[in-house]
Amino acid sequence: MSDALQKAFTLLLLIVLGLILRSKFKNKQQTDGIKEMVLSVALPSTIFIALMKVNVDSKLIIVPALTLVFNFFMYFVTPVALAFFGVEKNSSTGRTLIMLLPSLAPGLSCFPFIAEFLGEESVAMAALGDVGNKFFVLIFLYVIALNMFLKNAKTEETNIGDKIKALLVNLAKEPINIIIASALILLSFGVSFKSLPVIIADMFDKTSAMMTPLVLIFIGLAVQLKQKKKRLISSMLMFRAGITMLFSAAVIAVLGIKEPTMVLLAVAIPLSSASFWPFAHISAFNLREEASGLPKERRTFDAELAVLVLAFSLPFSTLLILGILSAGTFFADLPTLIITGLLFMGIGVVPNLIGKSIMKFSKA
Output the pLDDT for position 339: 95
Neighbours of 62 (CB within 10 A): 15
Cβ–Cβ under 8 Å, residues 111 and 126: yes
What is the pLDDT, as a whole number, of residue 269? 93
Q: C-alpha angle with apex 209: 206 to 210, nearest 5 degrees?
A: 105
- The Cα–Cα gap between 46 and 54 comes to 13
Give 330's contacts (C-beta < 8 A, 6+ positions apart): 336
* pTM, rounded to two decimals: 0.75
Structural element, H or E, at residue 333: none
What is the number of alpha carbons within 13 Å of residue 204 lying toward its C-beta?
19
CA atoms within 13 A on the CB side of 256: 0
Is the CB of residue 307 less than 8 Å from the CB of residue 226?
no
Position 139 scores a pLDDT of 80
CA distances from 357 to 53, 351, 354 (A): 56, 10, 5
Length of the chain: 364
Task: Find out whether 282 and 146 touch, Cβ atoms under 8 Å.
Answer: no
User: Are 303 and 283 a contacting pair, CB within 8 Å?
Assistant: yes
Q: What is the pLDDT along the chain (364 residues), one digit of tens a residue?
A: 556 557 667 777 887 898 888 888 877 778 778 877 887 888 788 778 877 876 555 566 788 889 999 999 999 999 999 988 888 988 999 999 999 999 998 877 788 888 888 887 888 888 888 888 888 987 889 889 888 888 887 644 445 566 566 656 766 777 877 887 888 888 888 888 888 999 999 999 999 888 878 877 877 787 665 556 778 888 999 999 999 999 999 999 999 988 999 999 999 999 999 988 888 788 878 887 877 777 877 888 988 888 888 878 888 898 899 889 988 888 889 999 999 999 999 998 887 766 666 656 665 5
- What letters, b where the CB count within 10 A reaches 16 and e where it falls short, cover 80-103? ebbebbebeeeebbbbbbbbbbbb
Q: State in Å, rounded, how far the first CA of the chain is from the last one.
A: 56
